Amino acid sequence: MEKNIIRDTYVRFNLEHGREPYSVFELAKLLNESEEAFYVQYASLKAVEKDVWLSKFQETLEQLYNDPVYAGYSSREKLLAFYFMWVQNLLKMRSFILQRKKSFSFRDLRADNLSTLRLAFHDYVNGLLREGEETKEVKGRKYISDKYVHGFWIQLLFVLNYWIDDESSEFEQTDAAIEKAVNLSFKLVSENTFDTLLDFGKFIFQSKR
């Protein structure tokens, strides 16, 4: 039994029944397979849901990495390209996402359903940040740089929630929100007024010691 078949069946079940399968047995029966065959691929139904989200992320990266133009982008441009491609791919399961919105909060920073996506996204963003530091696009800051990734995860959830609620034609408002969010985030991680504020804060703190 292929993983993609299990994922597709799980998504279809949710859409047709308005709920998750009650058990692996219920899903396996729909697949005309045994429970044992299911457990070869996944340890639980929750693992299937996590993989649904992860697979769309991996699909997006595969498309980007196969585009020779992408390799020449700056870190900011790569993240923009990721978001634009990602929300386009999410369209394929928008009904499922809207249905799952009833079951858990997409605003929960530690949502278990998105845990594998979060780890994969952290790895991706950390790679972009390392590239950005090498090209001076990103400012390395002691005690702060390793926290950047958490801010970008908040950004991904913002994009996801904005897209979920977006009713504009062809989701053009989401495209605008993505551009503004990414531009702002890279202004914050670059050398800018934030560093001036840090220097000023250090000065005030040291002058009062």
> In the chain, which residues have pLDDT < 50?
203-204, 207-208
The label of the residue with tokens 């299937």 reads 48
Query: Within a 13 Å sphere around the CA of 112, how many CA atoms are in the beta-carbon half?
Result: 5
What is residue 195's predicted lDDT score, i.e. its pLDDT?
56
* CA pair distance 17, 148, nearest whole angstrom: 40
Residues 6+ apart with CB under 8 A from 57: 86, 117, 120, 121
- CB atoms near residue 104 (< 10 Å): 13
- Whole-model pTM: value is 0.89
pLDDT, tens digit, 9 for 90 and up, residues 146-184: 899 999 999 999 999 999 999 999 999 999 999 999 999
What is residue 63's predicted lDDT score, i.e. its pLDDT?
98
What is residue 205's predicted lDDT score, i.e. its pLDDT?
61
The label of the residue with tokens 């992320």 reads 57
What is residue 162's predicted lDDT score, i.e. its pLDDT?
94
First vs last Cα of the chain: how many Å apart?
67
Q: Does residue 1 contact residue 33 with C-beta atoms inside 8 Å?
A: yes
What is residue 206's predicted lDDT score, i.e. its pLDDT?
63
Assigned token pair, 128: 């972009």
* CA pair distance 58, 60, nearest whole angstrom: 5
What is residue 198's predicted lDDT score, i.e. its pLDDT?
60
